[in-house]
Amino acid sequence: MDPFGRKTHFLLYEICILAIGSCGAVTITVPNKVILGTAGQPLLLPANYTTGTKDQNIQITWTFQSPSSGSMLLVTAINNTLTPDMEHGHRFFLSPPSASLLINPVELRDDGEYTLKVTVSGVKVASASRQLTVLVNVPVSKPVVRSDPAWGAVEYVDNATFTCTVNKGTKVIYQWLKDGKPLKPSSRHIFSSDNKMLFISPVLKDDLSNYTCVARNPISMNESEPIAPNIYYGPYDLMVKSEPRFKVREGVFAAGKGEPVWFKCSANSNPPNVYSWFQKADNKTTPIQWGPVLKIRSEKVPEKADYMCCVYNNITGKREETQFTFILSATGQERQKQKGSSLHSLGIIVGLSLALVVCILLYFLLRRYFPRKVIKEELYHRYYGRKIRYNGTSRSSALGASLGEKLCLHCLLPVQTHIQQYLVEGNSTMIICVHLKYAK
């Protein structure tokens, strides 16, 4: 047989096989290789496949494998005909030609590896497979934090332990927050291997914060309510203060005899301190009173004395004290005198101001209701003795009325006014003679 004809015949055979699709390739695609499931809820394992042609037999198979249960067949479909597994068919569903698998409901035991295999048969058989990992979890409930010891811990003496627990949740991871920020391990802050417990050894005042526990798993997260440890500390920052006007310098106060003086003692402590006051005078130390505030009647104290404030924390057993000096001086009396003198001067100024205002008011009242005498005097001083030049000689003004004459000003009586004007030759002086006559 001709070799060339043999090659031609083989090529035609290959073309025929490709035409009927018996050598078509299979491709499987899945969106995610890891799928998270919530126990008790439906879970879909999406998958798609493609082949070279449509006219062929297609078989879809899902299998499951886990360390606890081994490998098992879940469901099979051939050419849209479903063959479920008798043991697992009530929870695993396949709807051919789709290759996606539905698990309803998903359970914790469904956690494992799932394998999808698609086989296409014709003259030749082709197949492809893909694996998916399913992680099934229970949502995490709200964590609860317990503190030990519950009554509290003494600074530098005791240790504190916080324990975080959840009622529900699988594959839980724990994390600790201090005032909302992640707490890192240190020489005093130690975590258990699973992070469920936090150890603080020893406790300090700086550990007074809000602690929270965050519990999470692949499908959920929850945070506990904040808890603050009860730490006993102090006393710290002991100080005595009074009114600024009494302070001479640090640790020295002065006031005048008779002035009321108070002093307040304060210190940072938990629980609150017990305060006591002592007086040191004439080489004697005398207890005065209890409580944070000391009130002194300066007329009944020595001219110079030392006072001491003592604070005591009955839980930590620590005690602190501070001392100051109180001096009686004339400064207080001078302040009182200056205060009285200032008030006296202020009274004089106010009195003079009021007197001036009253005088001004009286003056305007007199001008308004008794104007005749005032106007008369003004006219008299304005016109009396005025000289009017007439033909080069001086004459008295016709307005020179006697003081005894009753002028009818202010329009109480009608007045007739006669004005005569004279024009003097060679002189531009206007001479006005005004004659006032009472009208009858």
User: Phi/psi at 347 (nearest 5 deg)?
Assistant: -65, -40
Domain 234-329 falls under CATH 2.60.40.10:
yes
Report angle CA 107, 113, 131 to the nearest 5 degrees: 130
CB atoms within 10 A of CB 376: 17
A 10 A CB-CB count for 197 gives: 19
Q: Whole-angstrom Cα distance, residue 215 to residue 141?
A: 8
What whole-number distance in Å separates Cα of residue 190 and Cα of residue 229? 16
Helices within 43-107 (DSSP H only): none
Question: Please, what's the largest Cα pairwise distance for the chain?
Answer: 178
pLDDT score of 146:
96
223's CB contacts (< 8 A; 6+ apart) are 142, 143, 177, 212, 213, 214, 215
pLDDT the model gives residue 57: 87
Residue among 290, 114, 286, 318 at smallest CA distance from 205: 318
Task: State residue 292's pLDDT score.
Answer: 94
How far apart are the C-alpha atoms of 341 and 351, rounded to whole Å? 15
Please name the amino acid found at residue 161.
T
Cα separations in angstroms, 43 against 39, 40, 313, 322: 9, 9, 62, 73
Task: Give the end-to-end CA distance of the chain in Å, rounded to a whole number.
Answer: 176
Q: How far is CA 252 from CA 275, 299, 307, 328, in A?
A: 20, 18, 10, 11
Residue 123, classed as helix, strand or coil, is: coil
What lies within 8 Å, CB to CB, of 352 at 6+ separation is: none
Distance CA 1, CA 372 (A): 165
Beta bridge partners of 390: 393
* Residues of the chain falling short of pLDDT 70: 1-24, 53-55, 88, 330-345, 369-440
- Tokens 């006031």 -> residue: 255
State the architecture of 3-134 in CATH terms. Sandwich (2.60)
Q: The tokens 């999470």 sit on which residue? A: 216
Predicted local confidence at residue 100, as pLDDT: 95
Q: Identify the bridge partners of residue 113 per DSSP, sorted by sequence position.
A: 65, 133
How far is Cα 92 from Cα 103, in angstroms, rounded to an integer?
5
Are the beta carbons of 176 and 213 closer than 8 angstroms? yes
Q: Is residue 266 within 8 Å of residue 320, measured between CB atoms?
A: no
305-318, pLDDT tens digit by residue? Answer: 899 999 999 999 99
Question: Residue 153: is it exposed, middle or buried by C-beta count within 10 angstroms (0-12/13-18/19+)?
Answer: buried
Respond yes or no on whether the N-terminal peptide bond of residue 182 is cis (omega within 30° of 0).
Answer: no
The predicted pLDDT at position 347 comes to: 74
Question: What pLDDT shows up at residue 97?
Answer: 86
Residue type, 110: D
Q: Cα–Cα distance between 135 and 36 in angstroms, integer?
A: 5
CATH architecture of the region 144-229: Sandwich (2.60)
Residue position matching structure tokens 């998958």: 47
pTM of the prediction? Answer: 0.63
